[in-house]
Structure 1
Amino acid sequence: MTSIGPLPIRPLMVLAAFVVGWFIARVLAKRKTSAERYKSAGSLVYSSLLVGLVTARLAHIARWSEEYLSSPMSLLAIGDGGYLWWAGVAAGLAFMYWRTMKQRDLRQAVFTGAAAGILTWFLASAVLEAAQRQAAPLPDLELLSLTGQPTALHSLKGKPVVLNLWASWCPPCRREMPAFEQAQKKFPDTVFVMVNQGEKPEQVVRFLQAQGLDLSHVLLDPTSSAMKTLGAQGLPSTYFFDAQGQLAYAHVGELTLGAISSILSSRSSHSDHQLTPQAQRAPQ
């Protein structure tokens, strides 16, 4: 599961957690303060969320600075899922404590709301993880190579697989292609499969040559059967499978090299087959 309709699911989880925290903080504050003061509780929860998100993003960029600086525009790709959650939570709570030093009548309400929001986010994350563990394995589809040779996706089992669904007319697909080219060099023990959706071989070859891309596994899916099988709602969509072919992570939208590296590195501890880069900090 990567989305609800056309909307990515992880931002919706953050929104749901915020709404829960905001609502509880306002209700509790209204019981203990004036009718006007309780509105400040909701505003404080909102401000703390913004501080947390900005900190989480900056902390993630700092952690993967070499990958982001190799393509500076990727710093702006905030939809790539690159956030260091524990740094964001710590910063948000610290900001909340600082702001309530002179508003102690709101402190209990906003911290209770924050706790409820964080719990909501953790529970939603656990449900999503469980749903992905129960998701269909690496699909047993027969696709085509650029030369027209049948290729079975299922035959790639045995190594971790990153499956990217893309098309040359899709702007975020085009932007993320160089990141996948770099990632396949950095993670040689992972198979990166770029599955084009619905385009003719000459279109795909012309695009790859024009962009100067050297991608090891580019397959054609003329009928977009992969999108239907995986339930993808849009392009690009990327699926991370472990060595046994089980889905470990899914993302809808553009990915950066920093985000790809973070996902593969964080998932390595949950897999029997280690997703380790060729070097700890391989030069790009």
Structure 2
Amino acid sequence: MEEVLRIGPLALPLAPLQLFAAWWLGDALAQRRAARSQQIWGWHGWLLLVCGLLAARAAFVLEFAPHYAQPAWAAFDIRDGGWTASVGTIAVLLYGATLWLRRHPLAPAAMVGIAGALALWLGAQGLRQAMAPGQAPLPTFSAVALDARTVQLDQLAQQQGQPLVINLWATWCPPCRREMPALLQAQREHPDVRFLWVNQGESPETVLQYAAQQRLPPAQVLLDERQELGRLLRSSALPTTVFVDAQGRQSALRVGELSTATLAQHLQPLLKPTGPDTDAPSAASPALQEPVAR
């Protein structure tokens, strides 16, 4: 299932759309229940939404606090999509429980609304996970890197035995440019993870010039002028980042801008030991430094 909703040339992330659809349903149910008791639901719907969002954001920022130290306002930049949904859900339930314990007249309406919103939200999340291509192998795809060698992506993931992060980007894409420093920093901090930047639809001259300015490793920047990889991954939105485990299987696909915090969140599952294979040669070994080429 795609992570975005396509409306003409627009690609809107599904997660926030599902969240607001769930809130809208819950608020409508609560208003209807309150009206049956001749009561006014008022601002409680908005307060529930704000309470849940603030708690979810605060929990995420606290978990990845070192990544939000500089600049200080980064914690308020919600474009990175950093939320802890479970904490937000608990906050909403506590709001409803407080009304119930205080025997507030709107407590039944609140519980009906919360139940309806959670049912839609959890159902949508379950459907997305069931239809997601997680743990699927990478599609067969080859491209030429800036060092003029051809890289076979699926073979690279399987043969190198190390986690892989594949970033689909373009120089004209502002979020792509904003997240580039975070990706470069993560590559320096995690030499056991290979990063690839697959440019979508631009000329070699344009990519070469930008890569030189950003000091991107030429062997890790691939040219995809026909945007074939985006079609294979069923994601035309930019930026798109694919996280692949050491066994060459897709762990996650993220559409939208990454911050250092949300990048660290997605890297965590890839960096966990997986058993006997953890004694395999390190990604820093010379034999693993160059991409598989043909």
**Range class of TM-score, shorter chain:** 0.7 to 0.9
User: Among residues 164, 171, 175, which one is paired with 2:178 in the alignment?
Assistant: 175
- Tell me the residue number matched to 1:18: 23
Give the aligned partner of residue 156 of structure 2.
Answer: 156
Pair 1:68–1:213, CA change in 2 (3 A): farther
Partner of 2:290: none
66-75 or 44-53, which deviates more = 66-75
Question: How far apart, in 2, do the equivalents of 1:240 and 1:134 lie?
Answer: 10
- C-alpha distance in 2 between matches for 1:51 and 1:247: 34
Change (3 A) 1:125 1:267: farther
Q: What's 2:143 paired with? A: 143
- The aligned residue for residue 263 of structure 1 is 266
Structure 1 residue matching 2:130: 3-state secondary structure: helix
Taking structure 2 as the reference length, the TM-score comes to: 0.81
Which amino acid in 2 is paired with 1:53?
L
Distance 2:110 2:271 in 1: 37
The superposition leaves residues 109-163 of structure 1 with CA deviations (integer Å, 9 ceiling, x where unpaired) of 1122112212322221121111114686312111111022211111222333222
| Alignment check: 8 A CA contact 1:196 1:218 kept | yes
Aligned-pair CA distance for 1:174: 0.3
3-state SS of paired residue (2:106): helix
Q: In structure 2, give the amino acid aligned to 1:26.
A: Q
Counterpart code for 2:13: P
List aligned pairs for 1:53-132, cutoff 5 A: 53-70=53-70, 72=72, 74-98=74-98, 104-132=104-132
1:266 and 1:77 mapped to 2: Cα distance? Answer: 24
Distance in 1, matches of 2:193 and 2:224, equals 21
Deviations 1:16-35 (A, max 9, x none): 2212211221222222x21x
2:189 corresponding residue in structure 1: 186
TM-score with structure 1 length normalisation? 0.84
CA distance in 2, matches of 1:147, 1:270: 32
Cα displacement (A) at 1:197: 0.9
Alignment correspondent of 2:222: 219
Q: Deviations over 1:231-284 (max 9, x none)?
A: 21321111222333333222211111100111222566797778xxx9xxxxxx
SS of the residue corresponding to residue 223 of structure 1 reads coil
Work out the CA distance in 1 between the residues paired with 2:232 and 2:64: 33
CA contact (8 A) 1:236 1:252 kept: yes
Alignment correspondent of 1:282: none
Do the aligned partners of residues 252 and 195 (structure 1) sit closer, same or farther apart at CA in structure 2, a change above 3 Å counting?
same
Contact 1:241 1:248 in 2 (8 A): yes
Q: Note the C-alpha offset of 1:73.
A: 5.9
For residues 182 and 71 of structure 1, the distance between their equivalents in structure 2, rounded to whole angstroms, comes to 16
Deviations 1:53-90 (A, max 9, x none): 12211221121111222455643441322111222222
Does the CA-based 8 Å contact 2:198-2:221 persist in structure 1?
A: yes
Q: Which stretch of the first structure deviates more once superposed, 212-221 or 46-55? A: 212-221
Q: Which amino acid aligns with 2:146?
A: L
How far, CA to CA, are the matches of 2:197 and 2:247 in structure 1? 19
Identity of aligned residues (%): 33
Q: Distance in 2 between matches of 1:21 and 1:86?
A: 18
Question: Secondary structure in 2 aligned to 1:169?
Answer: coil
Is the counterpart of residue 207 in structure 1 residue 210 in structure 2? yes
Which position in structure 2 is the counterpart of 1:195?
198
Pick closer, same or farther for the CA change 1:129–1:49 going to 2, 3 Å: same
SS in 2 for 1:140: coil
Deviates more, 1:99-108 or 1:81-90: 99-108
Distance across 2 between alignment mates of 1:236 and 1:249: 14
Instruction: Evaluate the alpha carbon distance shift between residue 270 and residue 233 of structure 1 in structure 2; reply closer, same or farther with a 3 A threshold.
Output: farther
Counterpart secondary structure, 2:66: helix
Asked whether the 8 Å contact 2:134–2:251 carries over to 1, the reply is: no
| Deviation sequence 1:191-244 (CA, Å, 0-9, x none) | 221101122233223213323455872211111111111121321111222333
Aligned to 1:281: none
> 3-state SS of the aligned residue for 1:129?
helix
For the 8 Å contact 1:132–1:248, the answer to whether it is kept is no
- How far the C-alpha of 1:187 sits from its partner, in A, is 3.1
Q: Distance in 2 between matches of 1:99 and 1:185?
A: 50
Q: Report how many residues are paired.
A: 270
